[in-house]
Amino acid sequence: MREIYLNEYNVLMDNTVYYPLVCGQLKAYAQTKAAIRENYEFMPFLFIRDLPGRIVAQYNDPAVAGFSCSMWNINLSLVVAQQVKERFPGCLIVFGGPSVPLEPTDFFVRYPFVDITVRGEGEHTFAELLLRLLLGRDFSDVAGICYPDYYQRQVVRNPDRTLEENLDTFPSSYLQGLYDYLLPSGINFQAIVETNRGCPFKCSYCFWGVGKRYRFFSLNRVRELADWCGAHRIRYVFCADSNFGMLERDLEIAKYFVEAKTKYGFPDKLRACYGKNAEETIYLIGKLLHKHDMEKGITLSRQSNNAEALKNVGRRNIKKSVYDDLQKRYNEDNIPTYTELILGLPGETYESFLNGMEEILQSGIKNQLIVYICEVYPNTELANPEYQKRFGVSTVRIPLTEIHGSVRPEGIPQEYNEIVVSTSTMPIEDWKRALVISWIMQLLHGLKLAFYVLDYMVEKYHISFTSFFEYIAGLTPQDAESLGNQVVEFYRFADSIAKGQPRGCILADFGSIYWEPEEVAYLSLYQKKDKFYEDMHQVCRDYLNNLGIIYDANKLKKVIEHQRACIPNIADYKEKATFAREIVIRGRKSGKMLKEVSSSNVQR
């Protein structure tokens, strides 16, 4: 029997990892072919990030090694593939996934040990490769692949493969029991599920759909999958649909997972990337999941509020009036939401970015406004040199630190991601200042360290959120020791990222994982919160005095006291790391970062 090794190295989060969905789907479909079952043996999946030598040591006599490559494992995959080729020269090395170039000429030059690259959906293609390999190494009629022809000194690009319309043609790796052998391993597994494939949109920064139309798995298949997740006690399910809730059937799908939780007690949470249209369906899904304590926050995506930036990236948002109405309805039902902005989109300016932030905060969002640094993914329009030149896009390559993932052990190849640090409309100094203000906003509003204070200042004295954040961004340690020092640290960190340093931070006292800069600030200031709230009080007074606003000093003091009392108590948790995970990680999108405190309990 010819041995097949499938590699899909996923990020370990403590003792938790995702099942290798791509490996499972490739195997599940390939095994529908009798010739493959009779001539090949699939070896155990290689799916946990590890030292290259330890991974290669698990190979015996490989005929085929397949690698599913994303930004978090592409370099590790290349190192392992090279070592496999050196030890087993006859092994066919096949690469696929979003980080493998669609036009791989340079890729084959840099990595001559790779034999074939696969474009797009892999089930049909991989199965055909295995069948052709039984006859020899002529792959000239296998659609959807590229390979070097060393005799002709060229890269052969076979025609694209026609997409499969009936996705139930591909058996489910979960329902086929392909992961059952892993159950005794002691690992906590999370599941990625698909209910459809494709995305009708063509956002320049996204590789998800590249304008492909929707194709669907049957509802019966999805219902069986939801039941499987419940029966196998999967706590966290990530729905890998591009626009969950955009289709009416998605409400029915949400009901399947609620039924599973009602029956088995699992899954605990269902996370999805929600669509930007079909707002009523998404609202009903959010309400249903919230009722059963299953939601991880409902996304009300914006990415930008600037018309020029949205045009440049090929995106259209829902109307502002619809967005505001949805925000109001979610707030009334106490359903946590979060909105996303992307810093560095072509056409965005410093002023328009802050205006967008202000509009979202003024809409009444109670939970999260999350700002992402614009990343450049392979095979997207944003990665095209001509596109970058058109909009004056400048990027840097920084070491990848997977936020909330385990710290990368020494000896594992470093992965990288490319980020936008300036455009023709946002010079790098503006980018850094906007980044610092984003961290200040997420620290004080998103992580709730001064949520009630902000709410009071804006409501009572009609200030703008962003003008207050800008004021804080100008503080020095002499103005307010704790806040001023944190602002200095934010600027230092923004400068280091712009020069190619990683974004994730390590805090030894809170576990061996990576944290966002604003989360580090929260955990740091929390440990000296008496001084922080003393400084916060003075900063608010100075700000109002500078504006000539007459304020109620006694009321402001009470608001500060109430805010401090509402911060969760670390003493209620056995360990600092547990507090950080429950409050900062899990609480951030679930609206649980503040405890309820009656005004009578506030120390006077």
- Between CA 239 and CA 252 the distance in angstroms is 14
Query: For the segment 15-39, what is each residue's pLDDT rounded down to a tens digit?
Result: 899 999 999 999 999 999 999 999 9
Asked if the structure places residue 189 within a domain, the reply is no
Looking up tokens 């052709």 gives 132
Residue 491 structure tokens: 């600027």
Query: For the segment 107-140, what is each residue's pLDDT rounded down to a tens digit?
Result: 999 999 999 999 989 999 999 999 999 999 999 9
Beta strands across the sheet bearing 368-373: 298-299, 337-343, 368-373
Query: For the segment 495-553, what is each residue's pLDDT rounded down to a tens digit?
Result: 999 999 999 999 988 888 999 999 999 999 999 999 999 999 999 999 999 999 999 99
Of 564, 561, 562, 566, the residue nearest 593 (C-alpha) = 566
Residue 552, pLDDT score: 94
Q: What stretches in the chain show pLDDT beneath 50?
A: 211, 600-604
- Any idea how long the chain is? 604
Last residue of a domain, one of 141, 162, 183: 162
Domain count, the chain: 2
Last residue of a domain, one of 126, 141, 162: 162
Residue 600, pLDDT score: 45
Give the per-residue SS3 of 96-145.
ECCCCCCCCHHHHHHCCCCCEEECCCCHHHHHHHHHHHCCCCCCCCCCCE
Asked if the structure places residue 407 within a domain, the reply is yes
- Between CA 26 and CA 204 the distance in angstroms is 29
CB 453 within 8 A of CB 472: no
Residue 248, pLDDT score: 92
Residue 277, pLDDT score: 62
Residue ranges making up the domain that contains 447: 365-601
Asked if the structure places residue 242 within a domain, the reply is no
Asked if the structure places residue 458 within a domain, the reply is yes
Other Cβ atoms less than 10 A from the Cβ of 209: the count is 17
- Between CA 212 and CA 453 the distance in angstroms is 46
Residue 604, pLDDT score: 32
Asked if the structure places residue 247 within a domain, the reply is no
- Say what the pTM is: 0.93
Output phi, psi for 133, to 5 deg.
-65, -25
Asked if the structure places residue 91 within a domain, the reply is yes
Asked if the structure places residue 597 within a domain, the reply is yes
Beta bridge partners of 192: 238
Which helix or strand (DSSP H or E) is residue 241 part of? Answer: strand 236-244
CATH number of domain containing 14: 3.40.50.280
Last residue of a domain, one of 162, 179, 196: 162
Residue 278, pLDDT score: 60
